[in-house]
Each structure stands twice: as structure tokens, then as C-alpha cells.
Structure 1
Amino acid sequence: MKKHNLFLRYGLLLLLPAYLLLHFGFNLPASEYDEVPLLNSQCPPGFKKNANNECIAQNLYMQYDSPNNKGVGGLQTGLPEIRDGFSPQEIDLGRYLFFDPVLSGDGKIACASCHDPGKGFSDGLAASIGANNHQLTRGAPSLWNVGYLKRLFWDGRATSLEEQMQGPLFAEEEMNNTPENLLFSLNGIDAYKKLFAEAYPERDASSPIALNEIYTALAAFQASLVSLNSKYDRYAHGYHKALNEKEIEGMNVFRSFVARCAECHTPPLFTNQQFAVIGTPEPEGMPLDPGAEVPFNDKSMRGAFKVPSLRNIEKTAPYMHSGRFKTLRETVEFYTKGRGHAVPEGEQLYIHWHIWNPELSDYELDRLVDFLKTLTDETFTPKIPETLPSGLQPTINL
């Protein structure tokens, strides 16, 4: 009897830790009890892996010559150089980081909070919202085809993805983090340490995560966001049944020397990557945004903004740097109301010479909208992670 009682007493004590783990363990962050999955070893769609484990862009536009010798708005025109050559592991690591709110100071905001794949990698807001519900002054630009862009932000103040991302990451009113805290957070997560070691096998696996590795992985993921398979693209490559009659009419208006849309929004990227002062109105009660005047210290660029790509423009309302127009119809109508008609009194802006008085009819404006919708292509939208190495939930569009 005594032996039986001792067995019951000590046997139950031995079973107690297992019971507690089963009962309470499921409340732990996933990275503390789940095996860390391996990073994807295959390149995302639109890229091909070479012998050096590098993802190299592949698309039909590569068969055409450069944009410099084809004229304005040509259909079969080459694209500018893309940022590629990242490993598939870097790209996949960047995907986890992009959706993970652990990158923000309070663990509540992710890159995807302002760049939602369901909203054209924008956020559907006139002006984005940052940490502590801080209202920003500009909308979030789309990230589709960002690997082709040479200048970033609406005012063009950054020249690389790595430089650009440090703005929102460490701005008090945006993600409100610091480099020191970002490193502390990620180096405190075993799952991320394993994934960074996998993505960067050339360095010592026991080395701490470094800032440049974080920036590179995020840049790799963003540069992989390619959208080049829209109805327009199929038409441009020779399948002329891809567009209907009204869409073709809209394309002809877009490319005409009356509307002059293609002179700034030049196919196939649908931006010439330059800056333009168009005199778009600010939201009611808001002062004029000086735009590129500030980073370039150039008075002639007062009110100038980077010409955005029109790819997936149907998905990224509202429009302009401040979200002034809610619909594409309102936006295209702005351009036919007369040169400088919305410039605030007392401001002398150097309106871009392509902005004039085209006097387009309502029918032509409607056809323009029809054409712009043919630029929608979300075929290669990346998968949102179901779980994150941090154990937090993916954060999309607050």
C-alpha cells in the first residue's frame, strides 16, 4: 500500500509539467514551440533562378529594345533596368518581415499596414495613418514594380529601397522604431535568427542579425513585386483581342498628342520617372505641399511630385499625393479643366509644359478610365504568411 501511494504521489508530480505544458503551452508565441519552416528555395513568379542562386527577372518586354529608341508611348518598348539578383531565401525572408508588426516600435504596425496587397499595395486612404493614430500628410504609393524605380517617395528623396524603408521604420509619426530596438527585437527571436542564418549562409550562423541584412531582405521582397501581365500587356505583345473597342479608344486618347498622358506616364512602366508640377489641389484647409522643392532645394520644383506608375491604378484610390480625388473619373477630369486652374492664390508654380487645355469630351474621359482599368494585373500577388516567426499576427491595413 505504501509503495502504491508513493507511486501515485510522485507519478502525479512527474505528469504535472506535461499537463501544464499541454494546458497552457498553446498560448505561447508560435516561434517558441513550432519548428521554424525553411525559407522558399524557389524564385517567385516572373523570376528565374540561375546557377548562383540568384533570381533574375524574366518577362516578354526583355525581347524589345530600350525605351530610348522607340518613341513616346510605343507598345513594344523595353523596360528600364530592374533591381534583381536576390536569392529566393532573401525574398522569402523579406516577405515575413514585410507583414510582421514586430518591425514597429509598439509591435502594432507592419509595412503591410500601409501597403496592403489587396489594395494595390497601398492602403485606400487619402493620407496614411502611423503610430498612435498619427495622421500623415500624403498617401502611401503602390509598391507594384517598385524594383524598376530610381527615385522613391512622392518627393523623390530616396534613391534606393534600403534608403527609403528607413524613413517609415524610424519616423516617430510612422512606425516609431529605432535601429537599436529593431535589432534587439529581432535578435531576441530564435526563429528569426535561424531564418537570417539561412538567408545569409556566408556569414557565421551564430552572428547577430545586422541592420543591412534586414534592409536587404525587405528590398528583395519589394523588388519581386512585378505586375506585367495585364490586358494591356497582352495587347501590347500582339494579342489585339485582349482589349475591346472602348478600351482601344481610351488607349488612343491616352497616347494622343491632345491628351498627352503617355508623355509622362510612358509605357510600359507607365511613368517616365521624372517630376512634374501639375497644380493638383490640396484637401480643403490644407496648405500647399511643397513636394520635391524641399529635398532638391529647388524653387522651380515647388509643388512637384514624382510621376507615379499607373499599373494597378484601379486598385489604389484615392488619387494624387494627398488623395484629393476619390475616383479615376475625377482624376482624369482634372487634367482637362485648364492649366493651373487649381493653383492657390499667391502661389507661382512652374506648371509642367505637358499640362495644358486638352478640352476632352465626357466620352473621351470615360474611355480613358476604361483604358486605365486594363492596366490591372495582380497575377503575381505574394502569399500573406499564415504565421510569423515573431508569433505575432500579420498586420494589414489598420
Structure 2
Amino acid sequence: MLKFFSVSLLIQLVLSCQASSANNTISIELRDSCPPSFELTEQGVCKLVNLYQQYDSIQNVGVGGLQSALSKGRDGFTPNEIDLGRYLFFDPLLSKDGSVSCASCHIPEKGFSDDLAKSVGIGGQQTTRSAPSLWNVGFVNKLFWDARAKSLEEQAVGPLFAKNEMGNDAANLLKGLRANQTYVSLFKQTFPEHTQIDLAQVIKALVAFQSSLISLNSRYDQYAHGYHQALNENEIAGLNIFRSFVARCAECHQPPLFTNNQIAVIGVAEKNGDEFDPGAQITFNASKLRGGFKVPTLRNIAKTAPYMHAGNFTDLRDAVEFYNKGRGHEVPEGESLQLHWHIWEPNLTDKELDLVVEFLGALTDESLVPRTPRVVPSGLPVIDVKYQQNQQEQQ
């Protein structure tokens, strides 16, 4: 009887501590100013501003024109919505067990990727693909490697409720947020017309933050806008090879986003002999897209190894060389893929490959990396670095 009482008491104490932790209010003030690349309008929302808006030319498809207009980016969010989204992005409270956050797989210092061939979710579960970079996602309407989401709103829901990623469900997510007095206060400040936190507000805040991730200030951009001393001689030579009709890199990785936001079948094999990934074939129910994946941006590419959807290459030079080794050289036996017509045999020399890689380094731009919160409303660790290191060692 005494033993039963002590166990019961222990359980009550644990539950009491959990409730107390949930109700504690952490002092957080949301920013009332817009992040870099945005200006605050009279309507109180953040408007995207960048030098590419001075151009009205249509993208020079196939030649990689430098001074080309960008597609319309997402903007019109309030400073509060963007900053609330930043706290949500870094808070493990959004996962089922409080162990991972959006930032666990999209780490700012790693190009908003995670250095893993296949990302890891709750309980150490491995996902099926690598984490794509989130830089400039506000400009595109095809998201995930298999392009299954057409908007950031669709994209945001995916990882939250995927069993092998954050593993949550809407009811549990909202329960956790509503039980946290800091979040109750922050949501009320951001969405004063709502009486309680709902899923639409969570998604809007996450979309607002991700839309603010702008990387258009690399040395390449400075060169494109007329400051030709921004690139050295080798980088300019690499850029010219990249844009050439021989290499054809710019056919798919079109400046200034360095993606054409399309699907391409390039014939890369799975890593370690894993089962072949059909990719966009499933999304579009189209056999011609078997093994097809979204063309990724090359912005901050030097920061986002390993490369390809399956993390095949740990070195950028090897990833570039893949396209030089001959059309279909990695297509698995038994697979008949409709390879993209730009995948051919450019026969670049080793020196030319090195120059392309050197140019790609000029696409690095970390000048506008958002600040990682020192503390999040849940009080949980912002990014579990030790956890990340353990997962890297296991892979």
C-alpha cells in the first residue's frame, strides 16, 4: 500500500511539473520591424525589395542571362507573423515528443539543410530523402523533391504530420500550443481577431517566416548587378562554362534563382543500393517522370552537402562530375528512364570542372541568415547539436 502510494505520488508530481512548465510564461517580444530584404508599408506589412526588381526581361532560357527578373516572391506578412513563425520554426514543441523542430533538419548554418543523406525525425526514424535547402522558397510553387506541394502552406503541413518526421497531429499540436501561456500571448498579439490558436494561424506564421529566407546578396549577385570585381578570374571563367551551350548547367539551374522550378529525370542511382525512388512519378501519376525530382536551387550549394535527393555525393566536385560522365551512366539495371534531354556528354576537362565548382562557391550568401532564438516559448533545446552529431555518425 505504501509502495503504491509513493508511485502514485510520483506520477502526480511529474504531471504537476509538466503542467507547471507548460503554463510558465517566458518573456519574449516579437519584432515590429521587417527582416532584411523587406520594407514596412503603410499597411503594416512587409514588402519584398531586391535589385532584381529593376529588370523586366524574361529569363533568357538556355544562356543564363545575368540581369533577369525574378518570379514574384511571397510577401505581405506582418513583422509579428514573420517573427512568430521564426519561434515556431525553432521550437521542438511542434513535434509529437518534443525532440525535433523544423530547424533540426533545416539548420541555418548548413544552408537550411542538415548534412545528412537522409534526414532523421522523431525516435531516430530515417526519412526517405535528404533535406532540401529553404533559401528563396518564397519564389517557387513546387516544393519537396517530388514536387508534391504547390504552395508553402501545403509544404508546412507535411513534416508536421509525417510519422517519420515530426510525427504530430493537429489536435496534439494545438493542445501543446494552447497550454503554453507564452504562445497564447504571442498568437493573441499576432492574430488579435482570433479567440484561440488554430492550425491556420500556425501555418501562416511558418509560411511567413520561410518566405523571409532571402539569399540574393552573394558575390555572384554583386557581379550580376555590375560590380565585376566581385568575382575573380577563375570564378568568371567557371560562370561562363556554367552558362555555355556545352555544359548547359544554366538550362535547368537558371539564374537568378539557379533553378527552373521544374522536374528533371537525370538518372542518379540510389545510395548504397537502396530501392529505386520513383520520385515525381507518384506525384503526377506519370511514368515519364519516373526517377524525376525537382531541380534544386544552387544557392548556398557549398553549404548543403551531401548532394542529390539521396545524398549520393559528399563532395561538390563529384556532384558536378556526375553530369560529365555520360548520359545514363548510373541508371540502375532494369530501369528504363526518360532522361532529360539536357543530360548528355559535355566532356568537360578536369580544369573546367574545377572552374565550375569554384564559381558555385560564389553563390554562398549568409549575410541575411535569420537569428536563431536563444530561447523558445516551450523552453526546450532550440537545436540539439549532440543529437545531430549522433545521427551523422550513424549514417
Partner AA of 1:176 in structure 2: G
Q: Secondary structure at the match of 1:305?
A: strand
Contact 1:31 1:389 in 2 (8 A): no
Asked if the contact 2:36/2:368 (under 8 Å) is kept, the reply is yes
1:395 is matched with which residue: 375, 383, 394? Answer: 383
Which of residues 244, 257, 261 is equivalent to 1:256? Answer: 244
Give the match's secondary structure for 1:166.
helix
Q: Which residue is 2:232 aligned to?
A: 244
Partner of 2:262: 274
| Counterparts of 1:274 and 1:162, CA distance in 2 | 19
Q: Is the 8 A contact 1:116 1:396 kept in 2?
A: no
1:321 pairs with 2:313: no
- 1:66, 1:79 within 8 Å by CA — same for their partners in 2? no
Matching of residues 331-342 of structure 1 within 5 Å: 331-342=319-330
Name the counterpart of 1:382.
370
The amino acid across from 1:32 in the alignment is N
1:141 equivalent in alignment to 2:132 = yes
Q: Could you say which residue in structure 2 is the equivalent of 1:164?
A: 155
Structure 1 residues 244 and 69: alpha-carbon distance in aligned structure 2, compared to 1, 3 A threshold? closer
Query: What secondary structure sits across from 1:67 in the alignment?
Result: coil
The residue number in structure 2 matching 1:297 is: 285
Tell me by how many angstroms 1:46 deviates.
0.5
| 1:91 and 2:82 aligned | yes
Question: 1:354 and 2:354 equivalent?
Answer: no
Cα RMSD between the aligned structures? 1.5
1:32 equivalent among 24, 30, 34? 24
The letter for the 1-side match of 2:336 is Q
Q: Does structure 1 residue 75 correspond to structure 2 residue 63?
A: no
Q: 1:143-172: CA deviations, max 9, x gaps? A: 010111111000000011111121111111
1:16 is matched with: none
Query: 2: distance between equivalents of 1:154 and 1:256?
Result: 26
Change (3 A) 1:383 1:396: farther
Structure-2 separation of matches of 1:263 and 1:366: 20
Report Cα offsets for 1:308-344 as digits up to 9, x if no partner: 0100000000000000011110011000100001101
Partner of 2:56: 65
2:105 corresponds to = 114
Please say which of residues 145-154 and 68-77 is displaced more in the overlay.
68-77
How big is the shift at 1:387?
1.1
Please give the alpha-carbon distance, in whole angstroms, between the structure 1 residues aligned to 2:339 and 2:179: 51
AA aligned to 2:200 is N
Describe the superposition over 1:76-118 as per-residue Cα deviations: whole angstroms up to 9, x where unpaired: 1111110111000000000000000000000011000000001
1:134-213 matches, cutoff 5 A: 134-201=125-192, 203-204=193-194, 207-213=195-201
2:10 maps to: none
When residues 286 and 132 of structure 1 are mapped into structure 2, their CA distance, relative to the original with a 3 A threshold, is: same
- State the SS of the aligned residue for 1:329: helix
Separation in 1, partners of 2:62, 2:263 = 20
Query: What letter is aligned with 1:229?
Result: N
Range 61-70 or range 366-375, more displaced: 61-70
Are the aligned partners of 1:234 and 1:242 in contact in 2 as well (CA < 8 Å)? Answer: yes
Partner of 1:283: 271
The reply to whether residue 214 of structure 1 matches residue 184 of structure 2 is no
Question: What aligned pairs does 1:7-46 form with structure 2 within 5 A after superposition?
Answer: 29=21, 32=24, 34=26, 36-46=27-37
2:271 alignment partner, SS class: coil
Aligned CA distance change for structure 1 residues 98 and 139 (closer, same or farther; 3 Å): same
* Equivalent residue, structure 2, for 1:312: 300
Q: Secondary structure at the match of 1:284?
A: helix
- Aligned residue identity for 1:304: G
The alignment covers a number of residue pairs equal to 368
- Is it true that 1:226 corresponds to 2:218 in the alignment? no
Structure 1 residue 32: deviation in Å?
1.6
Q: Which has the larger radius of gyration?
A: 1
| Cα contact 1:114–1:396 (8 A) shared by 2 | no
Deviations, residues 128-187 of structure 1 (Å, cap 9, x unaligned): 011111111200000010111111000000011111121111111111101000000000
Q: State the alpha-carbon separation in 2 of the partners of residues 239 and 252 from structure 1.
A: 16
- Is contact 2:301-2:361 (8 Å) kept? yes
| Partner SS for 1:310 | coil
Letter in 1 for 2:24: E
How many Å separate the matches in 2 of 1:318 and 1:95?
26
Cα distance change of structure 1 residues 234 and 350 upon mapping to structure 2, 3 Å threshold: same
AA at the equivalent of 1:199? T
Identity of aligned residues (%): 59
Q: Does the residue aligned with 2:171 lie in a helix, a strand or coil?
A: helix
Is the Cα–Cα contact under 8 Å of residues 108 and 395 in structure 1 kept in the other structure?
no
Runs of 4+ in 1 over 2 A off after TM superposition: 28-31, 66-72, 395-398
Structure 1 SS opposite 2:264? strand
Aligned residue for 1:369? 357
1:61-83: per-residue Cα shift (whole Å, max 9, x none)? Answer: 00001434687411111111101
For residue 348 of structure 2, what is the amino acid of its counterpart? Answer: L
The CA distance in 1 between the partners of 2:317 and 2:269, in whole Å, is: 16
| Paired amino acid for 1:271 | T
